[in-house]
């Protein structure tokens, strides 16, 4: 392709960054998730203040745009957050915010927690409440067996125990 048709970076970071997409599902969060959103907004606000001093530096200008984009995203997420707190109660079934111990196969257990979308971290066992696995677990009771429908085959999970955090 001819270089005549390719926009060159002018070094001033003039490109526009696309906004981070905001999910259409309700923004349920745990108390910890709300605190994390507050902390992230404060951190980004402070970083933004520091970067505005050097707007003429192309690298800092680009970083400022990224920080401003992230700040807008997390500020919106904080403003739309709906804290769901079941602590202090003892629901008979798994609800949002529950920490669940499941047995995947005899003798092999795993702990999962159903949290908000921004809190989700599958590697840490934190599942978004709207995920297929969380959907399978929601409403189940201790001792029950549930079937997690997966594209690569169903998996049976036994609910060993749960508590609401």
pLDDT tens string 71-96: 999 999 999 999 999 877 778 999 99
pLDDT band at 5 (very low <50, low <70, confident <90, very high): very low
Q: What is the pTM of this model?
A: 0.81
Return the number of other C-beta atoms located less than 10 Å from residue 145's C-beta: 11
Rounded CA-CA distance 34/82 in Å is 8
Domains of the chain in sequence order: 22-83 (1.10.287), 98-164 (3.10.50.30)
Averaged pLDDT for residues 140-145: 96
Rounded CA-CA distance 90/149 in Å is 28
Rounded CA-CA distance 136/147 in Å is 7
Q: Which of 10-14, 96-100, 101-105, 123-127 shows the lowest mean pLDDT across its residues?
A: 10-14
């Amino acid at each position: 392709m001819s270089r005549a048709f390719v926009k060159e970076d002018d070094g001033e970071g003039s490109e526009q960054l696309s906004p981070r997409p905001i999910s259409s599902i309700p923004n349920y969060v745990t108390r910890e998730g709300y605190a994390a959103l507050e902390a992230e907004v404060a951190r980004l606000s402070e970083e933004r203040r520091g970067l505005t001093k050097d707007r003429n530096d192309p690298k800092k200008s680009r970083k400022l745009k990224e920080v401003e984009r992230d700040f807008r995203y997390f500020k919106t997420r904080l403003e739309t957050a709906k804290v769901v707190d079941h602590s202090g109660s003892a629901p008979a079934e798994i609800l949002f915010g529950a920490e669940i111990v499941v047995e995947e196969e005899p003798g092999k257990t795993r702990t999962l927690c159903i949290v908000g979308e921004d809190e989700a971290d599958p590697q840490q066992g934190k599942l978004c409440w709207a995920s297929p696995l969380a959907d399978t677990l929601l409403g189940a009771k201790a001792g029950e067996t549930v079937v997690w429908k997966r594209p690569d085959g169903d998996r049976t999970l036994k609910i060993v125990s749960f508590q609401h955090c």
